[in-house]
Amino acid sequence: MKQQLVLSGLGGQGILFVTRLLAETAIAKGYPVLTSETHGMAQRGGVVISHLKVGDFASPLVRPGQADALLSLKGETLPLHLHFLKDGGFFSTNAKSVPAVAEGINGVLVDADSLALQLKDPQAVNLIVLGRTVAQPGKLFCTAEDIEDALRERMKGKEAALARALAAFRAGLEA
């Protein structure tokens, strides 16, 4: 198993959380992982990016043209990071329509902002996009059940937060 993912969005959207959740999912499945996170000033509302490599890798960074998938938590960051995708790569994004630059590239959309507001949980966009991504069979190294198990493990003892997280993830899964 070797997979390289790029996650992008705006500071404060919970990119770090999703990256770590996927990394923990990978560890639970017995795969080695490397990630690279964004901290500090860039985290303050600007565009942030994180990298996740599952399998036998040495470095935490994904090179342009090498990513198997790109998850974008805000539609406007999709064009900025499309160059990370390899030929035949896949994207999922929080948007109502596909931007022109992404036409012809294999991808899915979800209006995560609206779904999050329906759930009365503006923080849930990250898990909604993740749910939408894993709903596409074979695009991620793991299944929806694997991610739900990792969520349960991570949020042990925080039942209310877990219920909210599962609701968001499933909203994306079924969108």
Partner 1 sequence: MALSEQKRMLLQGNEALARGLVENGCVVAASYPGTPASEILSAIQKWQAAEKVPMHVEWAVNEKVALEIAYTASQTGLRAMTAMKQVGLNVASDPLMSAAYLGVVGGFVVVSADDPGPHSSQTEQDSRLMAMLAKIPVLDPASPAHARELAAVAFELSEAFRVPVMLRPTTRVCHACQDLELKPVQDLARVADFQKDPARWTATPKFRYQLHLQLNQKLADIAAYPPTAPICHNPHVTSRKAVVASGPVASYVKETLDDLGLWDSLSFYQVVQPYPLHTEFSAQVLEKHDEILVLEETTGVIEMQFRERNKVRGKLSGAVPEAGELLPETVERIVAGFAGVPASPVPQVAQQGGRRPTLCPGCPHRASFYAIKKAAPKGIYPSDIGCYTLGVNLGAVDTFICMGAAVSQAAGFYHSYRIGNQYPDIVATIGDSTFFHAGIPPLIDALAQGARFVLVILDNTTTAMTGNQPTPAQGTPSGQPVEIEQIVKGCGVRFCKTGDPLDLPGFTALVKEAVAFSHSEGVAVLIAKSPCLVDRSQPRKKRPQPVVAEKCTGCQVCTKRFECPALVFDESTGKVAVDSMICSGCGVCLDVCPVGAIVSREEG
Among 3, 14, 18, 35, interactor with partner 1 by CB under 8 A: 35
What distances in angstroms separate CA 50 from CA 68, 86, 87, 145, one per listed residue? 14, 17, 20, 23
> Distance between CA 48 and CA 76 in Å, rounded?
12
Q: How far is the CB of 137 from partner 1 (least distance, A)?
A: 26
Closest CA to 95 of 81, 121, 113: 113
Half-sphere exposure of 154 (CA within 13 A, CB side): 22
Q: How far is the CB of 33 from partner 1 (least distance, A)?
A: 5
What distances in angstroms separate CA 82 from CA 100, 103, 134, 139, one per listed residue? 12, 11, 19, 16
Q: How far is the CB of 133 from partner 1 (least distance, A)?
A: 20
27 binds partner 1 (CB under 8 A): yes
174 binds partner 1 (CB under 8 A): no
117 binds partner 1 (CB under 8 A): yes
94 near 110, Cβ under 8 Å? yes
Piece in contact with partner 1 (CB under 8 A), picked from 38-46, 129-137, 139-147, 167-175: 38-46
> Distance between CA 25 and CA 142 in Å, rounded?
7
# residues near partner 1 by CB under 8 A:
48
- Binding residues among 65-94 for partner 1 as defined by CB under 8 A: 65, 76-77, 79-85
| Cβ atoms within 10 Å, residue 171 | 21
Q: How far is the CB of 172 from partner 1 (least distance, A)?
A: 16
What residues make contact with partner 1 under the rule CB under 8 A?
Answer: 10-12, 19-20, 23-24, 26-27, 32-47, 57-61, 63-65, 76-77, 79-85, 101, 113, 116-117, 122, 125
